[in-house]
Amino acid sequence: MVTGVRRRTALTVLFSLTASLLAACGSGSDAGGDLTTEKVTLRFSWWGADDRHKRTQQVIEMFQKKHPNITIKGEFKEWNGYWDSLATTMAANDAPDIMQMDELYIASYAERGALLDLNEAKKHLDTANFDQKALATGAIDGKQYGLPVGLGMYSIMVNTDLLAKYNIPVPDDTKWSWDDLKKIGDQVSKAGGGQVFGVQSPGINDAAGLSIRARQQGKAMFDAQGKVVLPPEIATQYWQYILDLSKTGVAAPPSVTIEKASAGLNQSATATNTAAFGLWWNTQLTALTAASGAKLKLLRLPGETQGSARGAYYKPSMFWSVSARSKHPAEAAAFVSFLANDEEAAKILLTERGVPANLKIREAIAGQLKETDKAAKEYLDTVPVSDPPRITPNGASTLDTILKRHTEDVLFGRTTPDAAAASFIKEVQSEVDAAK
Amino acid sequence: MSALDELRQLRHGGAQVRKRDNKAAFWFLAPWFAGLLFITVGPVLASFGLGFTKYNLIQPPKFIGFDNFARIFSDERLHNALGVTFTYVLVSVPLQLACALGVALLLDRGLRGLAFYRSAFYLPSLLGSSVAIAVLWTQVFGAEGLLNRVLGFFGIEGKGWISDPDTALSTLIVLNVWTFGSPMIIFLAGLRQIPAVYYEAAAIDGASKWSQFWRITLPLLSPILFFNLVLQIIHAFQSFTQAFVVSGGTGGPSDSTMFYTLYLYQQGFSRFDMGYASALAWFLLLIIAAFTAINFWAAKYWVFYDD
């Protein structure tokens, strides 16, 4: 009897082993194998604007010339539509082979088993010239789910034309505080006479501002395990600050603030020259300068020298990821390697996806950059930073929208900063728990 | 040959002809039937099953019993979404039907160029739930939009109507009322059915226009009104596009335009919780069924059939 059971178990194990081996063979080439010489087609998807589509298409054509048997089919969308469609194609087992991935979503997809560990495709993917800290931002538990494309840093963008118009000197950003920002913003608002305001309120489009506040006090939004460890008093301070900006007229009235911030970059207060200071990613300098037509300058974050730590960090603007279900992972990795390492490709892509995380490429394109791109690169090269925060954990990809809702509740007096802090922390934690 | 004769022939005509006709009909129906089966019935049944699972779109669904349905009763944001949706339905549908009836009565008086007016008033219905109109709405009710320019003309300071949680839903209600065209067309057809002799008799007896409306028009139009009411309530419960576009998919500010369907969509596609989203879809079906049942029950007391 005992032997019977054992034999059956052994048979089952043997059978399932064979089955899994067969399955592995059946799913096209594997990530570590040689590149195929047969004709293959890979799908590649990204979000972005027109300029990005043109540049990316050019680079795709360069790759196809080098690998005539590989066809790359580009698919592009704008940000919101991109994530909706990625979720549905994933569910339909029809995900693109190569995708542009964001820090907010990478853990949510990786920990559900949707992304390939790029280490498996090491043979085809060269990461030697990447900054190790930057590379680590795309890794979870030692598995490389994304290759960082570009880096960005949170910054204050100041409209120096507006300051000159009102005779207000540009502040010294090496040791200014959040209170200094409020004070100088108040001067601008008073001079602006209801048309121009001092500060474009943060807390609407992303959670980075809150995370930076926490980091400056030696705290963080999440711990290594993905638990929310944000102290409620820091969140309270954050919303109190935003509420003060609104109440004292340093920022525009709430409905105007929300509308401008939600309408996209080109309608923002910075782009329409209706606020002198705004929190932005340094890489957005070129786009905002073009939109506003004014002279914009990158300033360091306030509060970097008053607290116990620096809040600034290198944020990967996006990643290249390969689908775990791709039938041609080796070829997909080779294409990612081309995007990340080819100098000719880099000269077309430039800093459109952020200042390149590949250090060799960053130097190779330095001579070709526009003035605003150069300023963004210089900001990244010179401003002191500390280690990046843990990537947004699985389940918390709705972090930004949760933050926005709480900011709206605070601005319209539907809740207090205190209550908002408690509710925010509770909700984010429950999202993380629900994904487990 | 009159329609009646035709019908008679169909009934008594050769069985052979009928059989052949049926066969052809089945072939013509087949594509539609396949669509119904695979694109509608299949997913509907699948969603019922998914309602009892935890399903994140990527990993296989896990059976969790009634957890999703239990969550409906403790989910505060859902309760807010229900409040928003009920307000939208209960305010916008009566207003929309009143507008539709009012305009239909005006147009029924034999205006010259009636066809033109009818089309002009009907146009918003065609466009109403389109993305283009929702985008237009943000231009009209934005901080620098048309409405504020007009108000500024009279020295009134406006605000961002869509980005203020106190007024955002009202702009969507106005949008829905504006699309009164399709019930209007149905009312117009109904008004044409009322025999003119009733009005002539009433006028001879000295009844005022007002009492003619209350005692002749409204009772005879009540089946049409009932039909429109049921249809528009169902339609309003399912509204999605307007809120999605106007709020940029967030249901904001402060969840003030969070329609039930938008919340359902966010659960499925932003939070990757397709199990809960499926449960919500079935719960919405129950709500709509309940409203429709109440409507049919109440109809006994106010709908008048002139048969």
Which pLDDT band, with edges at 50, 70 and 90, does A173 fall under? very high
Q: Which residues of A touch B272 (CB under 8 A)?
A: 87, 108, 112, 435
Kindly state whether residue B307 falls inside one of the protein's structural domains: no
pLDDT at A146 over 60: yes
Which phi and psi angles does B268 have, rounded to 5°?
-75, -45
- Are A113 and B56 a contacting pair at CB < 8 A? no
Within the 23-42 window of chain A, which residues sit less than 8 Å (CB to CB) from chain B?
none
- Quick one: closest CA in A to B250, which residue? A401
pLDDT in tens, B251-281: 878 999 999 999 999 999 888 899 999 999 9
> Which among A83, A256, A404 has CB closest to B143?
A256
Alpha-carbon distance A43 to nearest alpha carbon in chain B (angstroms): 19
Number of folded domains in chain B? 2
Within the 64-83 window of chain A, which residues sit less than 8 Å (CB to CB) from chain B?
80, 83
Kindly state whether residue B57 falls inside one of the protein's structural domains: no
- Are B272 and A435 a contacting pair at CB < 8 A? yes
B42 touches chain A (CB under 8 A): no
- Cα separation, A279 vs A302, in Å, equals 10
pLDDT at A31 over 90: no
- Are A435 and B248 a contacting pair at CB < 8 A? no
Query: Could you tell me the domains of chain A?
Result: 31-149+316-373 (3.40.190.10), 154-312+398-434 (3.40.190.10)
A114 touches chain B (CB under 8 A): yes
- Cα separation, B60 vs B65, in Å, equals 15
B161 touches chain A (CB under 8 A): yes
Kindly state whether residue B60 falls inside one of the protein's structural domains: no
Alpha-carbon distance A91 to nearest alpha carbon in chain B (angstroms): 5
**Do B152 and B280 belong to one domain?**
yes
**Do B115 and B46 belong to one domain?**
no
The confidence score (pLDDT) of residue A368 equals: 87
- Are A408 and B252 a contacting pair at CB < 8 A? yes
- Assign residue B111 the CATH number of its domain: 1.10.3720.10
> Which among B57, B163, B250 has CB closest to A255?
B163
**Percent with pLDDT over 90 in chain A:** 63
pLDDT at A18 over 50: no
Within the 202-231 window of chain B, which residues sit less than 8 Å (CB to CB) from chain A?
none
Interface probe for B, chosen from A93, A197, A205, A259 (most Cβ of B below 10 Å), is A259
Provide the ipTM. Answer: 0.82
**Percent with pLDDT over 70 in chain B:** 92
**Do B33 and B127 belong to one domain?**
no
Single out the residue of B244, B123, B115, B109 nearest to residue B180, CA to CA. B123
The confidence score (pLDDT) of residue B19 equals: 64
- Quick one: closest CA in B to A410, which residue? B254
**Do B146 and B255 belong to one domain?**
yes
Question: Average model confidence (pLDDT) for chain A?
Answer: 88
pLDDT at B15 over 90: no
Which phi and psi angles does A104 have, rounded to 5°?
-65, -35
- Are A255 and B273 a contacting pair at CB < 8 A? no
Q: Is A25 helix (H, G, I), strand (E, B) or coil?
A: helix
Q: How many helices (H) and strands (E) does chain B have?
A: 16, 2
Alpha-carbon distance A395 to nearest alpha carbon in chain B (angstroms): 7
Which pLDDT band, with edges at 50, 70 and 90, does B12 fall under? low
Give me the domain span that covers residue B88.
67-302
- Quick one: closest CA in A to B144, which residue? A256
Average pLDDT over residues B184-212: 91
Kindly state whether residue B280 falls inside one of the protein's structural domains: yes
Average pLDDT over residues A371-398: 90
- Quick one: closest CA in A to B267, which residue? A398
If one counts every other C-beta atom within 10 angstroms of the C-beta of residue A332, the result is 31
**Do B107 and B200 belong to one domain?**
yes
Most confident of A79-83, A90-94, A218-222: A218-222
**Do B170 and B281 belong to one domain?**
yes
- Cα angle, residue A225 at apex, residues A222 and A231 outer, rounded to 5°: 30
The confidence score (pLDDT) of residue B11 equals: 54
pLDDT in tens, B93-109: 999 999 999 999 988 87
pLDDT in tens, B18-29: 666 788 888 888
**Do B158 and B98 belong to one domain?**
yes
> Which among B59, B159, B272 has CB closest to A255?
B159
B249 touches chain A (CB under 8 A): yes
- Quick one: closest CA in A to B249, which residue? A80
Which pLDDT band, with edges at 50, 70 and 90, does B6 fall under? low
**Do B255 and B216 belong to one domain?**
yes
Alpha-carbon distance A405 to nearest alpha carbon in chain B (angstroms): 5
Residue B252, token pair as written in the block: 């904001």
Kindly state whether residue B207 falls inside one of the protein's structural domains: yes
Kindly state whether residue B59 falls inside one of the protein's structural domains: no
B63 Cβ neighbours under 8 A, 6+ residues apart: B52, B53
Alpha-carbon distance B68 to nearest alpha carbon in chain A (angstroms): 12
pLDDT at A290 over 80: yes
Q: Which residues of B touch A80 (CB under 8 A)?
A: 248-249
Q: Which residues of A touch B252 (CB under 8 A)?
A: 258, 262, 404-405, 408
DSSP annotation string for A269-304: TTTTT-EEEEEEEGGGHHHHHHHH-S-EEEEPPTTT
CB pairs under 8 A between A and B: 82
Average pLDDT over residues A302-306: 91
**Do B76 and B45 belong to one domain?**
no
Kindly state whether residue B78 falls inside one of the protein's structural domains: yes
**Do B71 and B97 belong to one domain?**
yes
**Do B74 and B25 belong to one domain?**
no
Average pLDDT over residues A203-225: 91
Q: How many helices (H) and strands (E) does chain A have?
A: 17, 12
The confidence score (pLDDT) of residue B10 equals: 52
- Are A255 and B252 a contacting pair at CB < 8 A? no
Single out the residue of A317, A306, A282, A300 nearest to residue A388, CA to CA. A317
Average pLDDT over residues B173-178: 90
pLDDT in tens, B154-174: 888 778 888 899 999 999 999
Interface probe for B, chosen from A323, A408, A427 (most Cβ of B below 10 Å), is A408
Q: Which residues of B touch A414 (CB under 8 A)?
A: 165, 254
List the alpha helices (DSSP H) in B13-145: 15-35, 42-50, 67-72, 76-107, 114-127, 131-141
Q: Which residues of B touch A394 (CB under 8 A)?
A: none
Alpha-carbon distance B272 to nearest alpha carbon in chain A (angstroms): 8
Between B12 and A268, residue with greater pLDDT = A268
- Cα separation, B50 vs B45, in Å, equals 9
pLDDT in tens, B208-249: 889 999 999 999 999 999 999 999 999 999 999 888 888 888
- Are B270 and A262 a contacting pair at CB < 8 A? no
Q: Note if the bond before A356 is cis, omega within 30 degrees.
A: no
A93 touches chain B (CB under 8 A): no
A258 touches chain B (CB under 8 A): yes
**Do B245 and B135 belong to one domain?**
yes
Kindly state whether residue B62 falls inside one of the protein's structural domains: no
